A = this chain, B = another copy of it.
């Protein structure tokens, strides 16, 4: 029996229930189209969409928006040549693009976090999963060793580190995506976390708190993985989960290179 785009979306949404307000909508394609192949990705870049088409995929599930903004402000881009070329590729291919952001974060535990913890090889060290953060107690290592562990496991060329690199740490607060801001991260330090590892956050919030803490003689550090770097593993994990849910369909995960280089 044919599996249609809408069938897949229904199954993905089911564990959470329909949200009244969400960015998770079908951005392109026909919900009644028969699905020939599925791919998941952090963000549907031009390159990712082309790769998906080459793989015979007609349903691409992306965590972030396609047009460089949480609410896809396409009105600003209507005359932009980069937007137009990407939009043409999407329209001509007929590919369905579904954003799976809010729902995936509302799985319990958060699907993005499950993938990140798995990628870091830290599943045995989780002490608590909260809605927006996980707490872990890892074997003691220095912050520098921790940074190298993380870059190695995630296969990325750099992370940004604030605080004392030589201090030994064991209690980790882990936050994926744009959850590294002071409002979310600083309260974790108050619970005796040594190091916060986050995707992205405003630079003069948590990192500057850490600077002050270290100056006052406290052992604290902050590691910014990068937004995509912190969430891509969760979309890889989604592909694994969907492969099990839909064994008759090809399911791929499409990775992208790190968008930034450190120079």
Contacts and interface: CB of A to CB of B under 8 A. Distances in A.
Given A82-B212, A259-B162, A183 B218 contact: no
A204 B160 contact: no
A202 interface: yes
B209 A159 contact: no
A91 interface: no
A85 B261 contact: no
A156 B262 CA distance: 12
A165 B261 contact: yes
Given A144-B263, A260-B161, A212 B182 contact: no
A81 B189 CA distance: 10
A132 to B, nearest CB: 15
Interface in A187-220: 187, 189-190, 200, 202-213, 215-216, 218
A46 B216 contact: yes
A79 B36 CA distance: 56
A133 interface: no
A61 interface: no
Contacts of A77: 186
Given A68-B182, A76-B186, A259 B158 contact: no
A170 interface: no
B158 A178 contact: no
A160 to B, nearest CB: 4
Interface string A27-62: 000000000000000010111000000000000000
Interface of A: 43, 45-47, 64-65, 68-69, 73, 76-77, 79-82, 85-86, 144, 147-148, 151, 158-162, 165, 178, 182-183, 186-187, 189-190, 200, 202-213, 215-216, 218, 224, 226-228, 256, 259-263
